[in-house]
Structure 1
Amino acid sequence: MDLPRFENEYIVGVNNFLKFAFVIGKPVRKEIQCPCAKCGNTYWREREDVYEHLICYEFVEGYKRWTNHGESAIPTVVNSDMDDRGGIDDIDGLLRDAFGNMTNLEEGNNGLNEDAKRFYKLVDEAGLKLYPNCTTGFSRLSFIIRLYHLKCLHGWSNTSFTSLLELLKEAIPDLNILTSFNKAKNMVKDLGLDYEKINACPNDCMLYRNKYINDSVCHICGESRYNQTPAMDGNEDDFALPNKVHKVTAKDFKILSFSTKA
């Protein structure tokens, strides 16, 4: 992605990206969000248009993990001796990013500070296998992170997430998982992970972010960003006031994001 656009390797890479995005990314009406520097993952375009834009304008800066096109927001690594298992989550990398240099986490005679306590607790969680003799590479921590990611992607409620955890534990007693949404959320937040809610056009044309974050109408189809519901204060006359409305976004996406503590 950092190569000059005229080089053959860049063109091959663009084609590989398109193959990935149009299979894993599940296009909508044969369109995906265009990740070129001009569109910035805001506008939806067909394959030929995305190819032309990436050749003409290159990728938007910093888009190294294709989260808008089917790639997991959780970093993964693949070791040469694990090809039969696919890959494992880079939990060590997440811990390093979240807590940085661990040499300064002790507070003299007062013992471990709060960051150090969270760090060592997460290290323990990362060392617990998902179930006895587990060979899939999942730890208790990595499995919870994956489930939390799915919750964000598909809009599961907190209650449904807890119910799923309880059902998994009931069906597979040896499964070493938490059974509470709040406990899972706290574990994920200790890593610096949480979800970001982004407003979207109800027709999936664009996302309201970056330079469009304050816009109220879709630039593609003209649909309103909001479903406007008349305010109700117990006064029937409120319905006659066109400007007195509650603005509720028509559509939202939740994306798992990472921010370091340091």
Structure 2
Amino acid sequence: MDKAWMHIGDRMHSNDYASGIKQFLNLAKAYASGRDCIRCPCRRYRNRTFHPFSVVEDHLFIAGIDPFYTEWIFHGEEETLPDTTSSDEDGDAAYNDNDYIDDVDEMLDDIRVGSFMDNSGRTKFSPDGGQERHTSSAPLHLNFDDLLDDARQPLYPSCTEFSKLSFIVKLLHIKTIGGWTVKSFDMVIKLLQAAFPHALFPDSYNEARRLQRGLSFTYTKIHVCPNDCVLFWKDNADKDVCPKCNASRWASSTTNQKRLPQKVLRYFPLKLRLQRVWKDFNKKYEAFAQDPRNVRLALASDGFNPFNNMSKPYNIWPVLLVPYNLPPWSCMKDPYLMMSLLIPGPKAPGNDIDVFLRPLIDELRELWEDGIQTYDAYKGEMFLLRAALLWTINDFPAYANLSGWHV
């Protein structure tokens, strides 16, 4: 089916666009099997909510169809592909599978859009307003089709609450919050398999982790020299000995595996001082301030003993980024705090904390100097996102370490 009409700008006066909408709705009605509502693929809702056909038609004319929704998987296109045959029962089952895509579909939509972002070029944006184009070779999400299949498949034939994907994601979340060990997670999986033999549970925790990798729930471990000289990262990634002090890399690889308590330290900004800094920054970097979507960040860090026992010499430093574009009552809430680094060890990093901060500093420099292509879900377009680190939030001992002024 020709889908060039999806990119027509003058939607209200284009016969081709109206004809394309008619073809799309006819396909969706045939696929809906008597249902009154379908997923709305407009730029605003992007298949996240169900609406009547008349409302969907209005949205497609007013807001336009999502330009990235080129394969109409939620509206029956799979059943219309050539060289495929299916019975009426298979078609009904395929439609019912779509009902089990719950809130996880928002994550899948971000991953789908992210594949376009990774494949697109990146624009270098300098503070003086100059632009330079270069391409990116970042890999696409190769297992998106598998994730989509898991999201469309019910946990068991008569299940109406969970898909295979959403159940496993929620189970992994409970494991993290409850502090389950891998062994206990496997035991629960075996019990569920015995109680519900027709359900599509993973065989083990290792199989469930495949979803974590597909949904980008990952982190990277970086070894550091025992004397805090360098990180075994980038040019030093394959070295077993510190290039400065010749200490063994693996001397620092044994860490206490006891689970750490989940604590978040909240700080509250000084309103008037932030307003002054914000305005001065906008005057100095007008190119950055022209786009309100560019992010202003604050960095917060401090050390604490996770075991609540000062007789155990252990120290851990979380490094958090706080987006100050949000209103004051939201920017310090848990959902918007970004854990960028976690520095564990038997002692505090001290003045050598700059060694540990190097991965974060490199990413912040990239966001400030080059920017990164980002998808604006509200406007349905790509834009160059840049970020600036304007503040640090610390007590005075931590401020001394971060600034390097401590003797």
TM-score by length of 2: 0.29
Higher relative contact order by CA 8 Å / sep ≥ 6: 1 or 2?
1
Q: Name which one, 1 or 2, has greater alpha-carbon Rg.
A: 2
